[in-house]
Structure 1
Amino acid sequence: MSEHLFGGNDAPNQDSGDEVKKDFKGLLGSIRKFLSDLLEIRTNTDAVATKESIIADIPFKGHTSWILICSIFIASIGLNANSTAVVIGAMLISPLMGPILGMGLSLAINDIDTLRRSIKNFAVMVVLSVITAFLFFYLFPLRDESSELLARTKPDIRDVLIAFFGGLALVIARAKKGTIASVIFGVAIATALMPPLCTVGFGLAIGKPWYAAGAMYLFTINTIFIGLATFLVIKFLRFPMVRYANSQRRRFIARVASITGILVMIPAGFTFYQVFQESLFKKQAQEFLKETIEVYQFNASGRYVDNLTKIQYVDDGTPLIELVCMGDELIPENIINTWRVQKNEYSRLKDAEFRILQGGKDDSEEKFNYVSELYEKNKAELLNKDEQIRLLEEEVANLTKNAGKQIPFRNISAEAKANYENVAGLGFSYQMQTDFNKLDTVPVFEVKWKDGIRGDQKETDAKKMAAWLKLRLQDTTLVVKEVE
């Protein structure tokens, strides 16, 4: 009976288990087929047409040279005017992408002749672009360091990723039967090859070679990673290799192409590693600031100026985290030491120098000069002119508030009490006044007179006090008012 009760269900359970396994395998097969159909690009690739179109875009002469010159001028004007729309237009018409794709293609298919032509045309394009941009900025009277220009002087990890994935999208679009033009235009905008070259010319024209070096570094990053993406996609799509009649020549060219490809990948990998390390450092630095200075509560007139924060990564030296606080209230040294201990808890911030610049011990003029100096050094970090104006207005207002404290009010009140027996109280403040044409900050003394004083006596004493205070404080804008 036991056998019957417990053994009779074995066959149905086994059948149901087999059915579940079969259904699961069928589901996996369906998912695999769906993904294969979704992501497969080899079957819809036209290798011959793609190769011909890329090679056709390599030559640089005649119409192409004039298009490049026009695009450089347009980009330079857009960068100078801080106009994003104009810069985008210049990127759309720039022919710089052709030789870069040619270099990636030729390395992938061992075409040494195409590689030679691509390198030659690319070098001529770069030199002509820099010279044209240099002449424009050198001769043009307006040479403001706009945010569009300064944004091209400090590449980071995002520029690497944009160049690489932009290059992937471009080559995939070019390889498809019936090229997707919108992708080509989008990649031209995203990878931004033209603006860095214009910024190189700008840096040389104004005598700031470090601007030119940063911009050329960004352009090099874009070039290397677009070429690397082209190489990888062409290899993945299995484009046919160029055949040579001489087997010895074929092997030699294959070795040259392979060595060149490896040499390109080495700086690409090194660059990616460097900017990735810098990105991780800045990320931890931002987290550290959120846990310290950004949650610190000032009790009086102190203020953390976040726009002037400097986070500087140095690969072989000492990184720097520098904060700026304005106002008379100083952050206590024990709190700063606590923050230094917290900094060392971050793996990438241990060796970084942590510095806090506080303005409480300076007079107003020195503070203003210091803020101006910091602003000039750090304005590349500001987003636009509106942000610059807002920052300066806040600092001027803060300095005005501090300047009010420099009036020797204790001495003035004692002298007023000794000289004017009818005065019952005296107050002082700065007031903002405007006639809707200009805005002024006016020092105002408020006088409370003793009860029972005649009106003409008050008026006479008020005039004498105003004349005395203007002479005493050397300020003709000073105002004396009566308060009840």
Structure 2
Amino acid sequence: MSENLFAGDPQPQDSGDEVKRDFKGLLGSGRRFLSDLLEIRSNTDAAATKESIIADIPFKGHTSWILICSIFIASIGLNANSTAVVIGAMLISPLMGPILGMGLSLAINDIDTLRRSLKNFAVMVVLSVVTAFLFFYLFPLRDESSELLARTKPDIRDVLIAFFGGLALVIARAKKGTIASVIFGVAIATALMPPLCTVGFGLAIGKPEYAWGAMYLFIINTMFIGLATFLVVKFLRFPMVRYANSQRRRLIARVASVAGIAVMIPAGITFYQVFQESLFKKQAQEFLRETIEVYQFSTSGRYVDNLTKLEFRDGETPLIELVCMGDELIPENVINTWRTQKNEYSRLQDAEFRILQGGRDDSEEKFNYVSELYEKNKAELLNKDEQIRLLEETVADLTKNASKRIPFGNIGQELKANYQNVNQMGFSYQLQTDFKKTDTIPVFELKWDKNVRKKQRETELKKINDWLKIRLGDTTVVVKEVEP
């Protein structure tokens, strides 16, 4: 019996070794599976890829005319706010060639290809901007459509789209038997053409801030597509260009390395900046959800969320600006509480917090309100003439009402200090018409002490009437006497 027991002792050790072998086999199978799934070097044709990228670099003849036509199509699509037309223009545009050429040449130390790529890249940018400028300058309809304005300020998503779009494009170009659908998809996703069209639009209408914002977006796309190309070519180990002169080879290697670093540093800085901006806006939106969006107005006030302004200004104080409409003002103690809550967010502590409401900063509020009114009603308007008429009438009404706003409390104090016989004052607006036009007249009603004689009342009533017209700058002011 004891022999059987000792004979069975090695069994647990054998079982443990078997588990280890199974586990190692599982890991090996997993590694082989991932290797087969993600490995791309074996199916890469480096020579054909290099040849096809270099062939797409030049801009001359047919390629130039294709670029001009695609710029016109994209400009029309942006002007008409048509996403479908813009996508069609991006499908035929040959903008990727010089950018891929720059990334490839830096990765393989090909200084001649880098020189050609830079020259053709400059030609591409100038030709595109000039074409877009001429279109928007000569075309009579130059609306600031949402498709155009969307290209004036990049964010973190544009950086990520450009980088991963560039990765997908180079990987597709490197595959034996290029995947055309990927190339078309990247052309749409990275959206190189619309920013160049927007640069021309900004210059044509005299708004350089639009042009700079769009050019900044284009530069970001260019840098990260080029960076993605550089990294993929390095990863796939494309053969380096060899030079017979060893001194020249070393010089070119240094130049290529410096140029590659020069691209990566601003790309990294740009990524950091737009990432910081996205974090600022994320915290600002959380702050708004916890404050103004849950605030309950008791009467006629309301928060206009689509006029909220969140500005992250590099090197300057960030801004959070809210707009509230209506006669009800948010109490100062509530605003101070919100400012304290704002400081609880690490990225909002230095931000300026501003609320436009009621009678404060009336001009800003008024024109923001006109903008909101336009956006709300434009889908219901029949044509552009109707839009213009509505806006003109709205601005005129708001301007007229703002100019006739009466500082009732101050007027009452001044009146009582100068005319002690008045013991009550009332005020209202009165509609008046001569059946040709209707106007709003400010009317004051005065109630006198009982012991004031009629002649004295008439004299002082005239003085008060003249004083109010001068004091308010309104010759239509009417002062009436109410029987005591």
Is the TM-score greater than 0.5?
A: yes
Which residue, 362, 369, 372 being the options, matches 1:371?
369
CA RMSD of aligned residues (A): 3.0
Calculate the TM-score normalised by the size of structure 1: 0.76
> Which whole-Å deviations, capped at 9, do the CAs of 1:17-65 have from their partners, x for residues lacking one?
1111111111111111100000000000000110110011011110001
1:168-183 matched pairs, under 5 angstroms = 168-183=167-182
Name the CA shift for 1:91/1:318 in 2 (closer, same or farther; >3 Å). Answer: same
> Which whole-Å deviations, capped at 9, do the CAs of 1:195-223 have from their partners, x for residues lacking one?
10110011001000010000000000000
> Which whole-Å deviations, capped at 9, do the CAs of 1:262-307 have from their partners, x for residues lacking one?
1111111110111011011001101111111111122221111000
Report the counterpart of residue 223 of structure 2 in structure 1.
224
* C-alpha distance in structure 2 between counterparts of 1:171 and 1:249, whole Å: 28
3-state SS of the aligned residue for 2:10? helix
- Superposition deviation, residue 186 in structure 1: 0.2
3-state SS of the aligned residue for 1:323? strand
Name the CA shift for 1:370/1:81 in 2 (closer, same or farther; >3 Å). Answer: closer
Report the counterpart of residue 433 of structure 1 in structure 2.
none
* C-alpha distance in structure 1 between counterparts of 2:364 and 2:48, whole Å: 67
- Counterpart check, 1:159 vs 2:158: yes
- Superposition deviation, residue 387 in structure 1: 11
One-letter identity of the residue aligned with 2:128: S
- Superposition deviation, residue 5 in structure 1: 11
Report the counterpart of residue 243 of structure 1 in structure 2.
242
Report the counterpart of residue 233 of structure 1 in structure 2.
232
- Counterpart check, 1:313 vs 2:312: yes
Report the counterpart of residue 192 of structure 1 in structure 2.
191
- Counterpart check, 1:98 vs 2:97: yes
Report the counterpart of residue 84 of structure 2 in structure 1.
85
3-state SS of the aligned residue for 1:43? helix
1:395-434 matched pairs, under 5 angstroms = none
3-state SS of the aligned residue for 2:141? coil
- Counterpart check, 1:141 vs 2:140: yes
Report the counterpart of residue 210 of structure 2 in structure 1.
211
* C-alpha distance in structure 1 between counterparts of 2:119 and 2:360, whole Å: 60
One-letter identity of the residue aligned with 2:17: D
- Pairs aligned (count): 393
User: In the alignment, is the contact (CA less than 8 A) between 1:105 and 1:231 conserved in 2?
Assistant: yes
Report the counterpart of residue 116 of structure 2 in structure 1.
117
> Which whole-Å deviations, capped at 9, do the CAs of 1:168-189 have from their partners, x for residues lacking one?
0000000000000000000000
Identity %: 84
- Superposition deviation, residue 362 in structure 1: 8.9
* C-alpha distance in structure 2 between counterparts of 1:8 and 1:328, whole Å: 95
3-state SS of the aligned residue for 1:72? helix
Q: Which runs of 5+ in 2 are unaligned?
A: 382-386, 407-475, 477-484
Report the counterpart of residue 284 of structure 1 in structure 2.
283
3-state SS of the aligned residue for 1:354? strand
* C-alpha distance in structure 2 between counterparts of 1:385 and 1:279, whole Å: 31
User: In the alignment, is the contact (CA less than 8 A) between 2:357 and 2:365 conserved in 1?
Assistant: no
1:47-58 matched pairs, under 5 angstroms = 47-58=46-57
* C-alpha distance in structure 2 between counterparts of 1:206 and 1:290, whole Å: 37
One-letter identity of the residue aligned with 1:136: F
> Which whole-Å deviations, capped at 9, do the CAs of 1:223-273 have from their partners, x for residues lacking one?
010000000000000000011111111111111111111111111111011
Calculate the TM-score normalised by the size of structure 2: 0.76
One-letter identity of the residue aligned with 1:308: L
Report the counterpart of residue 24 of structure 2 in structure 1.
25
- Superposition deviation, residue 12 in structure 1: 2.0
> Which whole-Å deviations, capped at 9, do the CAs of 1:310-365 have from their partners, x for residues lacking one?
000012111010111111222222221111111111110000011111126799x9
> Which whole-Å deviations, capped at 9, do the CAs of 1:81-112 have from their partners, x for residues lacking one?
11111111111111110010011111111111
> Which whole-Å deviations, capped at 9, do the CAs of 1:434-477 have from their partners, x for residues lacking one?
xxxxxxxxxxxxxxxxxxxxxxxxxxxxxxxxxxxxxxxx9xxx
One-letter identity of the residue aligned with 1:216: M
Name the CA shift for 1:289/1:7 in 2 (closer, same or farther; >3 Å). Answer: farther
Report the counterpart of residue 465 of structure 2 in structure 1.
none
* C-alpha distance in structure 1 between counterparts of 2:266 and 2:43, whole Å: 33
1:39-50 matched pairs, under 5 angstroms = 39-50=38-49
- Superposition deviation, residue 161 in structure 1: 0.5
> Which whole-Å deviations, capped at 9, do the CAs of 1:373-407 have from their partners, x for residues lacking one?
x659xx9xx89965999xx99xx8xx99xx9xx9x
Name the CA shift for 1:366/1:215 in 2 (closer, same or farther; >3 Å). Answer: closer
Name the CA shift for 1:48/1:24 in 2 (closer, same or farther; >3 Å). Answer: same
One-letter identity of the residue aligned with 1:158: R
Report the counterpart of residue 445 of structure 1 in structure 2.
none
* C-alpha distance in structure 2 between counterparts of 1:336 and 1:315, whole Å: 26
3-state SS of the aligned residue for 2:322? strand
Name the CA shift for 1:92/1:362 in 2 (closer, same or farther; >3 Å). Answer: closer
- Superposition deviation, residue 9 in structure 1: 6.0
One-letter identity of the residue aligned with 1:15: D
User: In the alignment, is the contact (CA less than 8 A) between 1:46 and 1:176 conserved in 2?
Assistant: yes
